[in-house]
Each structure stands twice: as C-alpha cells, then as structure tokens.
Amino acid sequence: MKEISAGGKKKFSYAKIWWIGFGFLGVQLAFTTYNAFLPLMYREFFESRALVGLLMGTDNLIGLLLIPIIGAWSDRINSPWGRRLPFIVIAIPIAALTHFAIPLVASILFLLIITEIVFTAAMHSYRGPVISLMPDHTPPEKRSVANGIINLMGGVGTLISFGVLALLYDIDPRMTFGIGSGVLTSFAASFLVLALFAGYVGTKIGKIPAMLWGLVILPVLFLLAIPVRDPWIISGIFVLGGLGWALVNVQAMPLIADFGGRDRVGFYIGLYYVFTMIGQMMGPFFLGLSMDIIGNKGMFIAGAAFFFLANVMLRTGQKKLGTDPLEMARQGQQFS
C-alpha cells in the first residue's frame, strides 16, 4: 500500500483508514440497532411516546457530557499504546457486552435502563477516540478522502442493521443484538455510495466550498419534495439528497480537525460531537412542531429552512475566519 509522508513525521496509509473505518462501522451498527429497537422495548412499559423519547434522549445527553471530555483527555494521554487506543481497548468490550445484554434484561425496567446507560457511556467513550484516529494518521489534504472512506464504512453498518439484523428481530431480539455486538434506507444507501465521491470533491475544491454546495442542493430538493406524493419520486429525491448530505457530512469533521492542529484534535472533535448531539436533541422537536402546525409538509419546509440557515452561517464563518484551516493544520497551528 502506497504511503505518503505527512510533514516528514507521519505516513498516510489507506489500509489504516479502512481499519479505522471498521471501527466506525461497529459504532453505526450498534447505535442503529439500539435506536431502532430499544424504543419498542420501552413501549412494553410506557404508553407515552414522550416518555420513551425522554429515556432515549439519555444517549445524546451522555454523549454531550462524555465525548468532549474523553476527546480532550485522549489528546493528553502518553501511553505505550498511544493516545487513543487505551480508551478503545477498555470501552469496546464493555459496549459489546452491554449491547448483547439489552434484550436479556428487557423484561425488567430498571435493569434495562442501567444497561442502556452503561452501553451508551461505553460507546461514547469509544466513539471520539476511534474517529480521532483518522486525523492522527492523515495529513490535512487527505482528510476529506479518508473521512469519505470512514463514512462509507459507517453506511455499511447502518445498512446491515436495517437490511439484515432488523429482519431477525421478530424471530428473536437476541439474534439482532447479539450479531450487532459481534460486528461492534434510500437516503442511507445513496450516502453510502456517494461518500467516497464527496471526499474526492472536498479534496479537489476544498472542504468549505463542497459543504456550501451540499447546503444548496439539500434545501432545493426539500422544497421540490413538498408537492410530491409519488413514493418513487420521493425516493429519487432522497437519493439526490444523499449526495448533498455527503458533501456536507464528509467534510465537516475533517474541517474541525484541521482547526485543532496536531495537539488538540480530540478536543475539537469532541466539540464537533457536542454541537452534533445538540442538533440531534433539538431537531426532532422542531420538525415535529412544524408538522403539528402545517402538516407533513412541515418536515420539508423546516428542513429546508435549517439547511439554508446552515449555509448562511458557514458563509459568514468563512468570511470572518480569513485564514485557510488547511494551511494552519500543515503548520501545526490551532484555531482560536
């Protein structure tokens, strides 16, 4: 495998990136299975969807607290295994065991809640360091392509959960969660295919321009979808939406990593996940509220509005920054 010198200190290897991608595949597979089927288990105890949603929200709350702390901590660790691996080695077995245990304790509410909390804490302790491995082993100019590979693997994990493990749930929930522990959808499928292409685009035209293009494509597609009633046309729109989202999502984390320089990658990636999870906590409420007010089309209108707002904010940040984050990263500088 061809390796490329990064600043004379590190070498870039596609093989390493594929192995890191397998780690992210495990993250996505486990979380997709968890998010899809744990609410069904809670519904055995509670009729209220709001209460079930509140219990499921503990995932994002734990991530909000843990990921930036673990990320910053992993920047400062100096062990024979490196900075990130100690967290990964400890967290993966705990996450796998508790993921496997979820259906086994599903009939006892307090055990189910405790198992969920331990599982999400372990997963979020593992998530930040495994993603931080990518910028650790990748020069700034290669990070969009590398993150495209990692997102490709994450998409594989999501498709395995929806396309394979979901079919086993009605047979025996233990099979779904057990297989999910072992191997740690038109929109998802298109994102899977287009992730590598989006990484290539980001490398060629720059991360921020690629994100801005994605943030133009997405609101336009959402607005076009409002009058459509044919499910096949909607699916086609979402396939194109996968391209727009890939252009945004594949560039975002490498851009934040560039701001962190060499010494604060974990901390900056932690901040990235803080804002990601705040969005995940707030997004369903605002989309649901808009649908309550103006009907199902409210989902597309609100989605288009938020993507447009994101475009404006990114353009504003680009103008105020006045510095190329890629050049900063090459010089080992940090954004402040």
pLDDT in tens, 212-223: 999 999 999 999
By the 8 A CB rule, do 223 and 300 touch? Answer: yes
* CA–CA dist 270, 28 (Å, integer): 17
Residue 298 predicted with pLDDT over 80: yes
Region for 333 from its dihedrals, namely left if φ exceeds 0, alpha if ψ lies in -120 to 50, beta otherwise: beta
Residue 117 predicted with pLDDT over 60: yes
Closest C-alpha to 196, from 139, 160, 247: 247
pLDDT of residue 322: 60
Domain spans in the chain, listed from the N-terminal domain onward = 10-330
By the 8 A CB rule, do 147 and 249 touch? Answer: no
What superfamily would CATH give domain 10-330? Answer: MFS general substrate transporter like domains (1.20.1250.20)
By the 8 A CB rule, do 180 and 103 touch? Answer: no
By the 8 A CB rule, do 133 and 1 touch? Answer: no
Percent of the chain topping pLDDT 90: 7
Measured over the CA atoms of residue 181, residue 186, residue 189 and residue 190, the dihedral's sign is negative
| Of 40-49, 59-68, 103-112, 320-329, highest mean pLDDT | 103-112
